[in-house]
Amino acid sequence: MNVSEAVGRTLVERGVRQVFGVVGSGNFHVTNAMIDAGARFVAARHEGGAATMTDAYSRMSGEVAVLSVHQGCGLTNAMTGVTEAAKSRTPMVVLAAEATQPKSNFYVDQEMLARSVGAVPIRVGSAESAVSDAAAAVDLARRERRTVILNLPIDVQGDEVVDLSVPAEALAAEAPSPRTEDLTRLVEALAESQRPVFVAGRGSRGPGCRQALEDLAEATGALLATSAVAKGLFNGNEWYLDVSGGFSSPLAAELIVGADLIVGWGCALNMWTMRHGRLIGQGTRVIQVDLDPDAIGSQRPMAEGVIGDVRATARAALDRIGEPVPGYRSDDIRRRIVAEIRWRDVPYEDDSTGDRIDARTLSIALDDLLPDDRVLSIDSGNFMGYPSMYLSVPDEWGFCFTQAYQSIGLGLATAIGAALARPDRLPVAALGDGGALMSIAEMETVARLGLPMVVVIYNDEAYGAEVHHFGPDGHNLDIVEFPPTDIASIARGFGFEAVTVREVSDLSPVADWVSGDRGRPLLIDAKVTSRASWWLEEAFGH
């Protein structure tokens, strides 16, 4: 067996079941070796798409997936998606063929590329180390939640591997228990607080975290919220305020600002989640519980830290808490949450024109039409809050938010990866026309895979975020506005069913599609009215 075959086989033996990629000469054999060993391969039409599919699949399945790319240009094409994954600490492996001779056309310094975006480079050094290098890439990704780039030099790929025995897996160290003094500080703060709010982030998506946090919140009278990436985590809990941040409904924002203690659980409490700090009231104490010491205070300098695993820390705190107290929970607040917490219950002035539909009205209508058991993926842009706020999701595995790099164009590939990770749910992709056209090649992938996906385009025929950023200052907007594009016709060309929507009544084919066999994906080209969204206004200039 040669190095390519041994590396492919080892990755699968280490637990990889899903590979995405674009195949060229340098990754042909290794990809086939993975398929021969039992992995499923999905060909994307652009490495950027493949990278984000791998990221979304890993996030929504909890497995380490692999992205397979050609040397040099295959990897550079993938780098935006790889950067998003690395910033999000997505455990995945980028299997990159590598030209090591600088005179090769395909040569770039792939190790430096990896480091520049926060991914971890590993190189398959020789035939002797090939198996252990491949195993180490999966172990590191899983153990430390890192995006690993496994470089596979062309000049070692054909060498004979003699010893195929795979080393034992280096297991993750036990999650650290919080230090006694930190735990005491947390417990005392909870005991002193009259109005605690828990904000759960990415680090709370793990097994048992929800229950541990709900139990502690119950005992301390805390209200519950999440960052956007953990949206849905506390669904069904009557004290869940939904997302903290730009997407917070007015009631959620009011109650978070009114807290006297905010505890971030595996949550950086960044500018989005805390609206640049405006969701933190005067004198509110802020505590962050996080495995990563570097996360403490990185976004909120005044935050106190507890280094520890979310579940273990919440459980340990509960053991020390005395009698349950009502805290922030009252009948009045319960009634208000029922009546006001959902965005669709917040009154708004519908600015639909008959020719164009208000994005809020569109989103509410879709929320009613589409089955609840869905996995929703969101691209970036001015529109992004509407699907995030008005379309409900069943739980934290029903919302895939690849926004750590704030790149447009990742939403469609996100939806493909999420769809494959959660085949039991209806995949929904919500995109702007700009992000959709940037990534449109992957519509072929959706159709080829026969995914029963709904793709919704919030089409304002512009880079709306830029229009609303620069428009108010009177700048010439020609460079960010576009003539109409008939995206429904383009989608039909790829094999979608498609509908153009200008008013709610145009959505009736969506109901037919939902009740039909969903044999082909559905694209909704919604011509929306456009207004500056407050969640982006907050970010302008950053």
- CB of 523: closest distance to ligand TPP in angstroms? 15
Among 290, 358, 460, 506, binds ligand TPP (CB under 6 A): 460
The answer to whether 382 and 530 have CB atoms below 8 angstroms apart is yes
- Of 229-237, 272-280, 296-304, 455-463, which part binds ligand TPP (CB under 6 A)? 455-463
Please say which residue, 24 or 435, places its beta carbon nearer to ligand TPP: 435
Return the biggest CA–CA distance within the chain. Answer: 72
Q: What is the DSSP letter of 481?
A: B
Q: Closer to ligand TPP by CB, 28 or 482: give it.
A: 482
With a CB cutoff of 8 Å and minimum separation 6, the contacts of 55 are 81, 84, 85, 88, 90, 92, 147, 402, 414, 417
Gap between the Cα atoms of 245 and 257, Å rounded: 11
Q: In whole angstroms, give the CA distance from residue 464 to residue 382.
A: 6
Backbone angles phi, psi at 444, to 5 degrees: -60, -40
* Total of chain residues touching ligand TPP, rule CB under 6 A: 19
Report the nearest approach of ligand TPP to the CB of residue 70 (Å): 22
Question: In whole angstroms, how close is the CB of 386 to ligand TPP at the nearest point?
Answer: 9
Tell me which residues in 423-442 interact with ligand TPP (CB under 6 A). 432-435
360 HSE (CA, 13 A, CB side): 14
Phi, psi of 13 (to 5 degrees): -60, -30
Interface with ligand TPP in residues 169-228 (CB under 6 A): none
Closer to ligand TPP by CB, 21 or 464: give it. 464
Comparison of 217 and 456: residue with beta carbon closer to ligand TPP = 456
Among 91, 201, 464, 521, binds ligand TPP (CB under 6 A): 464
**Binding piece for ligand TPP, criterion CB under 6 A, among 5-13, 214-222, 419-427, 463-471:** 463-471
465 touches ligand TPP (CB under 6 A): yes
Residue facing ligand TPP at closest CB distance: 432
Q: Which of residues 383-412 bind ligand TPP (CB under 6 A)?
A: 383, 406-409
77 or 380: CB nearest ligand TPP: 380
Per-residue contact flags (x/-) with ligand TPP for residues 343 to 382, judged by CB under 6 A? -------------------------------------xxx
How many other CB atoms sit within 10 Å of the CB of residue 364?
20
Site for ligand TPP in 277-336 (CB under 6 A): none
Judged by beta carbon, residue 186 or residue 410, the one nearer ligand TPP is 410
Cβ density class 174-205: b for 16+ within 10 Å, e for less: eeeebeeebbebbbebbeebebbbbbbbbbbb
DSSP state of 175: P
Give the nearer residue to ligand TPP in terms of CB position, either 182 or 466: 466
Q: In DSSP terms, which residues pair with 357 in a beta bridge? A: 528
Q: Phi and psi dihedrals of 529, rounded to 5?
A: -75, 160
**Spatial CB neighbours of 392, under 8 Å, sequence gap ≥ 6:** 342, 367, 372
Nearer to ligand TPP, 389 or 408 (CB): 408
Q: Which residues bind ligand TPP (CB under 6 A)?
A: 380-383, 406-409, 432-435, 458, 460, 462-466
